[in-house]
A and B are shown apart, each in its own frame.
Chain A
Amino acid sequence: MAALFLRRIVQAALILLGVAAITFLMLYALPADPAVLLAGRNATPQTVANIRHQLGLDQPLAVQFWHYLVDLVQGDLGRSFNQKTAVAPLIAARLPATLTLMAAGIAIEVVIGLTLGVVAALRRDGFVDRAVMTMSFVGVSTPQFLVALLLLYVFAATLGWFPMSGYGTAAHLVLPAFTLGILGAGWYARVVRSAMIDVLGQDYVRTANAKGLSAPRVVLRHALPNALLPVIAMIGIDIGQFMGGTVVVEAVYGWPGIGQLAWQAIQQVDIPIIMGVTLVSALAIVLGNLFADLVAPLIDPRIRTA
């Protein structure tokens, strides 16, 4: 276990290094010159040159990358061009909102997806199964903004149960979290259904039935734990996706998360912020995978010995 953990950490560091290198190089591929951007439209060439020198942009690429890495290791993600402040605190300020939305969204999609998936598998080919599968198909193929706007219209504008937008209270969280959760639940339901159908046909489920156990016990104690592995992997993926910010949902609901920060930065070509968010997203994906790798052995003892 400890060895596995260590190996994953080293892998994660390598992946992050790779991402850092790629984002850094992309910066140079961009047609926008940061010095020009910073200096403003009416600056003299002398001012631009000064800024370039100040930022160290006149040094060789390798040296710049080295400085960038050294700063990175110290938690310094550079300074925003537009907001004239350090990027790291900007991202850190957005993190709580993003993490809250992520946790709530994942919780909702897991609960709904698991329930529907299990029920569909137990009623395989029946009416309920078909209904669930149709719903999940709709869920899988509906764009986020559509669901977000629909929920807004019905539950905020018409019924007035929840605030239109903003952040701070539990009520603010409900609609954005359900937007993520309902859509994600479609995937979970499908995966859980097929895993459960597979598991329900296994010999050990027959053994459990032959022992005279009650149907709920057979399903919950014997079948479900064996069907959870793919769900764990999916949660890992979602952690990676949602932690990097959910641009559409955050934009519609005015949710002050990382996605919004990134969106604004892109519009303003605020390259240090874009690079910072990219790194955080990469870190999120690595963490999500790490989560899946660490939780899977808790569920399946056969992975522990490996």
Chain B
Amino acid sequence: MIRDNDIKNTDFKFIDIGSMDTESIVRPSTSYWPDVWMRLRRNRLAMTCLTIIAVLTLLAIFAPILSDYEYDATNLSKANLPPCAEHWFGTDSVGRDLWTRVWVGARVSLMVGLVGAIIPFVIGTIVGAIAGWFGGWIDMIIMRIIDVGLCIPSMIYVILIILYLGGGAKSLIVAMAIMGWMGSARGFRARVLQFKNREFALAAKTLGASPKRIVFRHILPNILGNIAVGLASFIPSVIFMEAGLSFIGLGIAPPMTSLGQLASDGAGKYRTFFYQFAIPSLVISIIIFAFFMFGNCLRDSLDPKLRDQMLINGRRGRKDMAGKKVSADE
């Protein structure tokens, strides 16, 4: 409770309102991306994942260079050695140094994952923007192609590409590009449609902005978060897929190697040489885990309440269709 004598009569003088800043905001204002970055940095899990990704990438780049062994140099007299001072991860059945092979494999896996995720995303974004912005018959044709394309099991694409281009990292990336763009195009189109008729886009239009400007300056920044999240969650699934394909013998062929190929090679020998299975399995699981969790954290920090994420399997597109029908009823 305020005691009356705390307050002097002079306190009851008016303040000149002109001298006061009525619009002042107490909280420091942050713009969107610094805010996201701040939230991400505070998230310990996100930072751990980012560190893991960075460390593994550095190892994948430099470990094979610094190693004394070539990844494909065989030495039958030193076959199946368990991890020791000379061979940190041991050697495989033909005496190749597994430390070198694991990091060469990680290099391939990471490259397939990154390139195989980025290319379809870029293609998908452009195609989705075209379909969403222009609408009409362009949209119709693109969407029908995607409808049909998404119905074809992903394995079929991979097989066709491998039959045409042969095995190896290059054809895996091409296969990922050919089947991956459709999901992201569909998601991106739905987003463009969602924002196309929002007031800010209409305002830009009435001011005479070109379609390109509206899409890239006004709509894209709004969707960038979703794209980043979609990309971050697509990378691990590409790595995952590569591992599966290498396992059934359709991916990377020896003597070149990838983590999936190493792990599947070891999977047949886990009874006798457990380390040959455990080490590559652990590395690949950690990579997938780190990318996956980082994607999740990124989504959380982009918008703590972000409801809809861009789903790669096109679930998003259908949900939107349902949503559109609802509004058409009213």
Co-complex (A, B): no
